[in-house]
Amino acid sequence: MFKNFAILDVETTGGKFNEEKITDISILIYDGIKVINKFETLINPDKDIQPFVQKLTGITNELVKNSPKFKDVSKNIFNITKDKIVVAHNVDFDYRVIKNEFQSINIKYHRHSLCTLALSRLIFPDLKSYKLTNLLLNFGIVNKNPHRANSDALGTLKLLQILINEDLEMKVIKSKIKSNKNKQ
């Protein structure tokens, strides 16, 4: 169970639902003790990044113009997450965006997933905010570069470790793993 986590975060261009493209991705493979593998890169989305998103993330069209396209890194992403539980803060967003990117290059992508946002609400029901940065601050952890994939993935890893420590028997965590096999 513990050797199966792919903690990830993506940043996107913004835009219409299901039309967002990835601009930044970070994946940390966690075995329950330490990070045993990682992958991170900026991605050229082949479309403009919305001004609001550029301001929020600091990722500009200029910054990603010479970065690889998703199809160029898709094999790495596919392989590093294979047989892993994809973990993200608001995983439905990250998983949907990655799955759509794979769909755009005619590759089916199905992974089990786990949401640290949903888990935080269950395990810590009395907190005022469940935004990643605020959750981390609640536990004395500073997210040094919010809205960048690597910093948010590291923050999500730290949050997952806290959640595991609060749910040592993994009852809540196991109950919240989604298979995603039948989602189109």
**Tens digits of residue pLDDT in 114-151:** 999 999 999 999 999 999 999 999 999 999 999 999 99
pLDDT of residue 145: 96
Non-local (6+) Cβ contacts of 26 within 8 A are: 8, 9, 38, 39, 40, 149, 150, 152, 153, 154
pTM for this model (two decimals): 0.96
Beta strands in the chain (DSSP E): 5-12, 22-30, 35-42, 85-88, 112-115
The DSSP secondary-structure symbol of 84 reads S
